[in-house]
Amino acid sequence: MTNSPFTPGIVPGRLQPEAYEANFADLHEPLDSHEALVAADRCYFCHDAPCITACPTEIDIPLFIRQIATGMPEAAARTIFQQNILGGMCARVCPTETLCEEACVREIAEGKPVLIGQLQRYATDTLMAAGVHPFMRAAPTGKSVAVVGAGPAGLACAHRLAMHGHEVTIYDARPKGGGLNEYGIAAYKTVENFAEAELDWLMKIGGITLETGKALGVDMTLDSLKAEFDAVFLGMGLAGVNALRADGEDKAGVMDAVGFISDLRQAGDLSALPVGRNVVVIGGGMTAIDAAVQSKLLGAETVTILYRRGRDAMPASRYEQDLAASKGVRIVFNAMPVAVLGNGAVTGVRAEYTRAEGKSLIGTGETFDLPADQVLKAIGQTLDGTPDGLTLSDGKIAVTGAGRTGVAGVWAGGDCASGGEDLTVTAVAEGRDAAEDIHKALVG
């Protein structure tokens, strides 16, 4: 090892080779069958269960937990996949602490929810490990649908359409399918190439062709898709990145957090991935937390998140904030960057404290400097180009009902569409619901 956490600049190999494997191991060890039975036993199988309502895909949680409790994990997995075909990924990445587990009556009564996410993983992993695909296609309808984007929204839509007997072609600009499951989610939440395995498993339904390296706006237009297919679903996510709007943003060492994470997710050898000695991450969402935690796990000496508002306003949950703190990441609240310092390459970030005045945020005039040789921008993604004829609402494709856009025959869902939180599970729900609506429109 030639480098260490103290080596200046952005360099690879800051840690001993074996440290990478330990640092990027599974965030939660999977439950074994005994632990799953014990966890399932804590469920009260509530009538009108609040956990179901809190789940964007409305999985029948008490039913699947009862199925686990009675020794039928495969049946539990079917219950989950019926509502959420990416139930395996969602079990790993859902912020359950703000969804089902927050609503669980045992969380409210005792501050200790039923481990819904981990039970979901236990059930879905059991069925997937057996190589079983639990659904059959209906008889062919003779209708064809184009899906743009192979992320959670596009995959959920494609799978549901294929189940109904339609022929689906998914186009994705990237070399691999999976969207942010493959390129964005933190490595320690989805170990052992789970995104790729899940995609292969999902495709077993049949009737879906995935064409990678094909971009809407480059290789095809919305009009050409409308002419060739009976319906179009747009699930292209948010491929653009917001600008920092601080002086010196163009200095070497300033990069998008999403690009940094994508490189990390695709790296065959984490020890070859360069990371700064002092890393400053700007933002307050999951991307900021993931970029910061993974920089630290790659061996950065110091990692600081700058967030312009207070702790309670931070989009990343308290659980995520605590995870970051437990890995040695420092979060500075109520501070915003005003300049990136350095001559050519970044050497630091000048930040100013902020205070809220009514709805607006103003600088207090008090500044401080943080040393930095790498600055990661995690200040939100944007729609990258709007297909012709579509209207926008708050920068996203405007939709009504189950993803209907203003253009006949074109639906949209997931991060690129208006409404709903930018979460994997929400994208799945929207893709699935759009597919049901497309199906109704196609078969009458």
Which stretches of the chain bind ligand FAD, using CB under 6 A? 93-94, 148-154, 171-174, 179-180, 184-185, 189, 215-217, 235-237, 239, 258, 261, 286-287, 290, 414-416, 422-425, 427
Q: Which one among 45, 58, 218, 325 touches ligand SF4, defined by CB under 6 A?
A: 45
Nearest CA to 115 among 51, 25, 195, 26? 51
User: Shortest gap between Cβ of 34 and ligand FAD (angstroms)?
Assistant: 28
> What are phi and psi for residue 29, nearest 5 degrees?
-60, 135
Q: Which one among 27, 46, 267, 398 touches ligand SF4, defined by CB under 6 A?
A: 46
Per partner kind, with CB cut-offs from 5 to 8 A, the member of ligand SF4, ligand FAD, none near residue 380 is none
Both structure tokens of 409? 């025959």
Per partner kind, with CB cut-offs from 5 to 8 A, the member of ligand SF4, ligand FAD, none near residue 286 is ligand FAD
Both structure tokens of 161? 């359409």
Using the contact rule CB under 6 A, the part of the chain among 60-68, 120-128, 195-203, 255-263 near ligand SF4 is: 60-68
User: Shortest gap between Cβ of 332 and ligand SF4 (angstroms)?
Assistant: 36
User: Shortest gap between Cβ of 117 and ligand FAD (angstroms)?
Assistant: 11
- Contact status: 259 vs ligand SF4 (CB under 6 A): no
Cβ distance to ligand FAD smaller for residue 185 or 379: 185
Chain position carrying tokens 């944007």? 382
Beta bridge partners of 240: 382
Both structure tokens of 124? 């879905």
Nearest CA to 428 among 58, 6, 1? 58
Cβ distance to ligand SF4 smaller for residue 61 or 146: 61
- Contact status: 61 vs ligand SF4 (CB under 6 A): yes
Q: Mapping DSSP to helix (H, G, I), strand (E, B) and coil, where does residue 186 land?
A: coil
Q: Which one among 104, 146, 195, 410 touches ligand SF4, defined by CB under 6 A?
A: 104
Beta bridge partners of 280: 304, 375
Cβ distance to ligand FAD smaller for residue 40 or 93: 93
Q: Which residues contact 437 (CB under 8 A, 6 or more apart)?
A: 401, 402, 403, 404, 411
User: Shortest gap between Cβ of 183 and ligand FAD (angstroms)?
Assistant: 7
Using the contact rule CB under 6 A, the part of the chain among 37-45, 287-295, 326-334, 399-407 near ligand SF4 is: 37-45
Per partner kind, with CB cut-offs from 5 to 8 A, the member of ligand SF4, ligand FAD, none near residue 216 is ligand FAD
Compute how many other C-beta atoms are within 10 angstroms of the C-beta atom of residue 182.
Answer: 24
Both structure tokens of 68? 């686990």
- Contact status: 50 vs ligand SF4 (CB under 6 A): yes
User: Shortest gap between Cβ of 62 and ligand SF4 (angstroms)?
Assistant: 4
Both structure tokens of 57? 């895909």
Instruction: Quote the DSSP letter at residue 132.
Output: -
Both structure tokens of 428? 């799945």
User: Shortest gap between Cβ of 123 and ligand SF4 (angstroms)?
Assistant: 13
Cα 137 from chain centroid? Answer: 28
- Contact status: 59 vs ligand SF4 (CB under 6 A): no
- Contact status: 105 vs ligand SF4 (CB under 6 A): yes
Q: Which residues contact 274 (CB under 8 A, 6 or more apart)?
A: 10, 11, 12
User: Shortest gap between Cβ of 168 and ligand FAD (angstroms)?
Assistant: 14
Q: Mapping DSSP to helix (H, G, I), strand (E, B) and coil, where does residue 66 land?
A: helix
Nearest CA to 289 among 251, 327, 263? 327
Cα 22 from chain centroid? Answer: 23
Contacts with ligand SF4, 112-131, as mask; x by CB under 6 A? --x-x---------------
Cβ distance to ligand SF4 smaller for residue 47 or 359: 47
Angle between helices 318-326 and 286-297 (to 10 degrees): 10
User: Shortest gap between Cβ of 151 and ligand FAD (angstroms)?
Assistant: 2
| Tally of CA atoms within 13 A in the half-sphere of 246 that contains its CB | 21
Q: Which one among 66, 106, 176, 251 touches ligand SF4, defined by CB under 6 A?
A: 106
Instruction: Indicate left, alpha or beta for 131 from its phi (over 0: left) and psi (-120 to 50: alpha).
Output: left
Per partner kind, with CB cut-offs from 5 to 8 A, the member of ligand SF4, ligand FAD, none near residue 173 is ligand FAD
Both structure tokens of 216? 């809407």
CA–CA separation, 252 and 255 (whole Å): 8
- Contact status: 66 vs ligand SF4 (CB under 6 A): no
How many chain residues touch ligand SF4 (CB under 6 A)?
15
Cβ distance to ligand FAD smaller for residue 40 or 225: 225
- Contact status: 44 vs ligand SF4 (CB under 6 A): yes
Sign of CA dihedral 99, 176, 88, 93: negative
Question: Which residues contact ligand SF4 (rule: CB under 6 A)?
Answer: 43-46, 49-51, 61-62, 65, 104-106, 114, 116
